[in-house]
Structure 1
Amino acid sequence: MVNVIVFAAKIVCVTVIVLQMIFHYDDYYRFCMEIKCLRLGFQCELKMQVEGMNWKSYAKILGLGAGLLLTILPSVYVAVSNSLLYFWPSLLSILVIRMQSVLMLLYVDILGHHVNLLGKRLQDVLNCHLKGGNCILDGNCNQLCSLEFLLALKHNHMGLYYLFTHFNGLFGWSIVCIYVVMILDSTVNIYWTQQVLAEVYEYRYLYATFAVYIPSIIMIFIFCRGGEFCKRQNVIIGSYLRNLACHPAPAKEPAYNELLSEFIMQVEQNSLAINAEGFMNIDNSLLMSILAAKVTYMIVLMQFSSY
């Protein structure tokens, strides 16, 4: 029964992923073009030298992708040695789910990278205002303190918000289904590990159980940390704007203060967060909720096994 439940969850998840890719095929291209346009906006309007993500981010994505593929091998070994026929129909779904997770993590890192760049530019503007416009940033501090530059910052923040909204629309149901599968799969395999250690099953089953729940927990943790990073950067952007509003300068125009108030309201109302179709925000609070739920399910499974 447990195998059927986990298998059915994987099939449903893969079906949702494939259907989303079919019906939103053109949207994936538009999403990539929006990322490119946002990068050009940062370069042209905010006068930033936008570089790619650092090597650690690429190493994390490549290492995670390779690790998720390699950890399938122990499960294949156990399935062959023990003639586990139910494993083979689910092999393709495992590959699809894991590669889709890597793709989403890549996009989350790209979104977080742009949010961080916007926060750094706002910090430059705040430092310029605090120094009375006498600093030399990019060779033109007056431009950083201008109404036009604040308007460009506001415009690019809204573009970044639309990019987050597009991402949530493209991958929202995939995130929900993948999280359900990872929670079910990891919980069940932790329970089976406990059964193996209790000598109910042979010890070679540990290869398969470890190869399932450890990658699942790692994916849950990294994805939640990526969403938490975007959420915190949005909070930092809001704090920069409020600090800017709390330090009035004689040179500021009334229109500047009005635009600044609108910008603050925009940041508060349009949060840059990873959301799964309104079911949950991907951040540290979700990580703690998942851990609490896994403990509860483990207790239930152990109670059923005692009868």
Structure 2
Amino acid sequence: FVKNVFEDSKLSSLVSGLVFVSQSVAHITTIIQSILTKEKQFQIFTSYNEIDNDFKTKLNRTVNLRNIRVHLLNKISIILTILILNMLILINFIIGTNFNTVYWYSFFTVQSLRLRVIQCFSYIILVNERFDILNEILLNFIKEQYNYKKRIFTIDSVNSLIENNNNMKSNKNIETILALKHIYNGLWDTVNLINECFGWSLLSIITSYFLDFTSNAYWLFMAIENMAEPETIWKCLGTMLPLILIIGYLSWGCQECSNKGERTGNLVNKLEKSNENEKYNALISEFSLQIIHEPISITANGFFNINFNLLGSMAAATVTYLVILIQFLLSERTM
């Protein structure tokens, strides 16, 4: 809930009402979706455990959970520290002003929406960490293929021995590719679970943040133009900064997730084909087609992908609506 910067402005009252409604709807949506998808959120952690078990049993790679937790805590602690400092500074400017009651009235709603986004961001980071391991194994596998092929052509051996070695290597390669393919399936399913658990929440929160940011940009313009009190200017800036930070962090995490999925596809396309084993070649082609038809993407319930393109679209839309609001403000003053 945002109090009107100027009580006598009908347009300002309308903008305040839109922000209030959007935050209320977003809060209710997140609560309902959290309750309805409680079991699926537990399934996300089950998927992580199954993927880690596949790394260990099928690829002989132990996932270092301690390092993953440290990386996650480092990323989360950065955004939490900035948000807490921003909140303390904002409270310092708000105490004693006419925004005091309004701020505390909306405090719980604002913080709950932020925590919901951070929760989703945490799940995405956990997916990214496992994609790093998957891509690392794929890259090492490609290097082993190259070194093995180079060794075969440089060592003068008996033809039958080379053929046996190739057959054994092809069988082992098939097992490795099957394991990698199965892990990619697990990661893709996990991303789908994240979309199901947070789709409507992200849609409502991003919409609310867009309206909130545009509104505060409009009020900031009015405050600067009318030489308002410094508390009003700092209040607008203090509200806009967390919105930029949260959406930017979320878009970065989702963009990284998509990029790592695309990197997996690029690495699969670099795998060496076999002249003797068509089953191995067919498996690589199937894996490559699967990645093309099942890309990794975090969406707001399918309405749009969350990535850096979203940031650009929101910035362009904010400028457009800000110009429209200013034009309405000028026409209101001339009436």
TM-score by length of 2: 0.83
Identify the residue that residue 46 of structure 1 maps to in structure 2.
59
Identify the residue that residue 294 of structure 1 maps to in structure 2.
318
Quick one: which amino acid aligns to residue 41 of structure 1? D
Kindly report the root-mean-square deviation, in angstroms, between the aligned alpha carbons of the 2 structures: 2.1
* Cα distance per residue 1:129-163 (max 9 Å; x no partner): 2223578xxxxx95995211111111111111100
* TM-aligned CA deviation for residue 15 of structure 1: 0.4
Structure 1: segments with no counterpart, 5+ residues: 136-140
Q: Judging changes above 3 Å, is the alpha-carbon distance between structure 1 residues 90 and 185 closer, same or farther for their aligned structure 2 residues?
A: same
Quick one: which amino acid aligns to residue 249 of structure 1? S
Distance 1:8 1:72 in 2: 22
Equivalent residue of 1:81, what SS? coil
Distance 1:143 1:58 in 2: 41
Identify the residue that residue 235 of structure 2 maps to in structure 1.
208
* TM-aligned CA deviation for residue 55 of structure 1: 4.5
2:327 maps to 1:303: yes
* TM-aligned CA deviation for residue 56 of structure 1: 5.2
Distance 1:144 1:271 in 2: 28
Q: 1:82 aligns with which of 77, 92, 97?
A: 97
Q: Which has the larger radius of gyration?
A: 2
2:273 maps to 1:248: yes
Instruction: Report 1:220-259 matches (<5 A).
Output: 220-244=247-271, 247-250=272-275, 253-259=277-283
Contact 1:74 1:208 in 2 (8 A): no
Quick one: which amino acid aligns to residue 53 of structure 2? L
* TM-aligned CA deviation for residue 58 of structure 1: 2.3
2:51 maps to 1:73: no
Structure 2: segments with no counterpart, 5+ residues: 1-13, 152-167
* Cα distance per residue 1:257-281 (max 9 Å; x no partner): 1111111111111111111211011
Quick one: which amino acid aligns to residue 67 of structure 1? I
Contact 2:213 2:240 in 1 (8 A): yes
Contact 1:16 1:174 in 2 (8 A): yes
Bigger mean CA offset, 201-210 vs 162-171:
201-210
Identify the residue that residue 96 of structure 1 maps to in structure 2.
112
Q: 2:219 aligns with which of 192, 197, 217?
A: 192
Distance 1:242 1:98 in 2: 39
Contact 2:37 2:197 in 1 (8 A): yes
Equivalent residue of 1:131, what SS? helix
Instruction: Report 1:1-307 matches (<5 A).
Output: 1-51=14-64, 52-53=67-68, 55=70, 57-84=72-99, 85-132=101-148, 142=169, 146-244=173-271, 247-250=272-275, 253-307=277-331
* Cα distance per residue 1:164-190 (max 9 Å; x no partner): 000100001111111111111112112
Distance 2:226 2:171 in 1: 68
Contact 2:195 2:301 in 1 (8 A): yes
Contact 2:274 2:280 in 1 (8 A): no
Identify the residue that residue 164 of structure 2 maps to in structure 1.
none
Distance 2:171 2:268 in 1: 14
* TM-aligned CA deviation for residue 78 of structure 1: 4.6
Equivalent residue of 2:295, what SS? coil
Equivalent residue of 1:132, what SS? helix
Quick one: which amino acid aligns to residue 259 of structure 1? L
Distance 1:54 1:27 in 2: 21
* Cα distance per residue 1:229-285 (max 9 Å; x no partner): 1111111111111121xx3334x5211111111111111111111112110111121
Contact 2:265 2:292 in 1 (8 A): yes
Equivalent residue of 2:60, what SS? coil
Identify the residue that residue 154 of structure 2 maps to in structure 1.
none
TM-score by length of 1: 0.90
